[in-house]
Homo-oligomer: A and B are copies of this chain.
Amino acid sequence: MAHPIALADMRAAAKGLDGIVIRTPMLENPDVNAMLGGRLLLKAENLQRTGAFKIRGAYWRMLKMSAEERERGVVTYSSGNHALGVARAAQVLGSSAVIVMPSDAPEAKKAASRALGAEIMAFDRDSESSDAVVERIERETGRLVVGPSTHPLVLAGAGTTALELLEQARDVHVELDAVLVPCGGGGLTAATAVVMANASPATQVFAAEPDLFDDTRRSLIAGERVGNPAGRRTICDAIMTPIPNAVTFPINHALLAGGVTATDAEVRAAMHFAYEHFKLVTEPGAVVGLAAILSGRAPIKGRAVATVITGGNIDPARFADLLRTSEINQQQDSPT
């Protein structure tokens, strides 16, 4: 089956991104390993520029723009990490970015993108769709649309995360048994699956999702794209997607070992674990893989299991609040 991306595309992206993105550390703690009875490896993309892996794909896509495209700039829809990645990439490349956000998006998110030089275009959720607004701006301004997880160059950029992880694991003589990837649109998951299938075929790749947004897991079982019921919520805002996208799902369907899930309470506990044992600031959607491991839903005993910590963009008050509710839960669960 022909996929839109191949290992060679990732390698090309890795060369192009060298010196631009941070080669984030792969973290491991022997005391945690002893506790879990296996090796836990964290690819810390929360330490990436703009606090998330998204800049890899955005920059690689935008680096390939023609001079005229660069001059006209880009447009995208995102209220989160993809917006920051696109805004920073535009800044570094001397281009410009318009970010479409719902008019009721938090002021902090608008301010963060504005601080990187992006123009924010607010739209009314009730009367317009984000796609329609992006298309209108594309039509009226000639700006290039840079979506978060479907263009082959965006996927190739995301895949450099997995390439680095594999190299870093091999640097310490670890063969990865499994990699869990927090899965929203499915781009990083698909890119990771392509890397492992070609460069480390014994490594199983799993999509990790919030239990109420397990569209990829259920789609893998059904063999076709199925969506999530409307009206649900999760603290994992970055990966709260309605349905797998048509570009990444065929890749994931062909290459993934399956899907695993975690509840919001398990995600909070994983954030607390990352705080305590790795001293990391993480956002909820970034630790859904870690949460699945810690809750025993992805076996680690006697194995080497990696997960990507996809981002750490969370304001201190919300971070503190999620850690506090995690502690209260733990105390309630505890027998003493």
Instruction: Give chain A's interface residues, CB within 8 Å of chain B.
Output: 20, 22, 25, 27-31, 44, 46-47, 49-51, 88, 272, 275, 278-282, 312, 316-317, 319-320, 323-324, 327
Q: How far is the CB of A33 from chain B (nearest CB, A)?
A: 11
Contact yes or no, A279 B30, CB < 8 A: no
* Chain B residue nearest in CB terms to A320: B320
Q: Once the chains are docked, how many angstroms separate the CA of A50 from the CA of B277?
A: 8
Q: How far is the CB of A20 from chain B (nearest CB, A)?
A: 8
Residues of chain B with a CB closer than 8 A to A272's CB: 316
User: 7 tightest CB-CB pairs across the interface, nearest first?
Assistant: A320-B320, A279-B312, A25-B25, A279-B281, A316-B323, A46-B279, A47-B279
A-B contact pairs, 22 of them (CB 8 A): A20-B30, A22-B29, A22-B30, A25-B25, A29-B47, A29-B49, A30-B49, A31-B49, A31-B50, A31-B88, A46-B279, A47-B279, A272-B316, A275-B281, A275-B316, A279-B280, A280-B281, A281-B281, A317-B320, A317-B324, A319-B320, A320-B320
Q: Specify which of A31, A50, A278, A316 lies most central, judged by the most chain B CB atoms within 10 Å of its CB.
A: A316
Q: Specify which of A20, A47, A272, A312 lies most central, judged by the most chain B CB atoms within 10 Å of its CB.
A: A47
Q: Once the chains are docked, how many angstroms separate the CA of A327 from the CA of B319?
A: 14
Contact yes or no, B316 A327, CB < 8 A: yes
Residues of chain B with a CB closer than 8 A to A316's CB: 272, 275, 320, 323-324, 327
Within the oligomer, what is the number of copies of this chain? Answer: 2
Q: How far is the CB of A273 from chain B (nearest CB, A)?
A: 12
* Chain B residue nearest in CB terms to A277: B51
Q: How far is the CB of A87 from chain B (nearest CB, A)?
A: 12
Residues of chain B with a CB closer than 8 A to A27's CB: 25, 47
Q: How far is the CB of A107 from chain B (nearest CB, A)?
A: 14
* Chain B residue nearest in CB terms to A282: B279
Residues of chain B with a CB closer than 8 A to A25's CB: 25, 27
Residues of chain B with a CB closer than 8 A to A282's CB: 279
Other than the known A25-B27, A317-B324, what 14 A-B pairs have Cβ atoms closer than 8 Å? A22-B28, A22-B29, A22-B30, A30-B49, A47-B279, A272-B316, A275-B281, A275-B316, A279-B280, A279-B281, A316-B324, A317-B320, A319-B320, A320-B323
Q: How far is the CB of A260 from chain B (nearest CB, A)?
A: 24
Q: Once the chains are docked, how many angstroms separate the CA of A17 from the CA of B30?
A: 13
Residues of chain B with a CB closer than 8 A to A29's CB: 22, 47, 49
* Chain B residue nearest in CB terms to A280: B279
Residues of chain B with a CB closer than 8 A to A312's CB: 279
Q: Once the chains are docked, how many angstroms separate the CA of A20 from the CA of B29?
A: 10
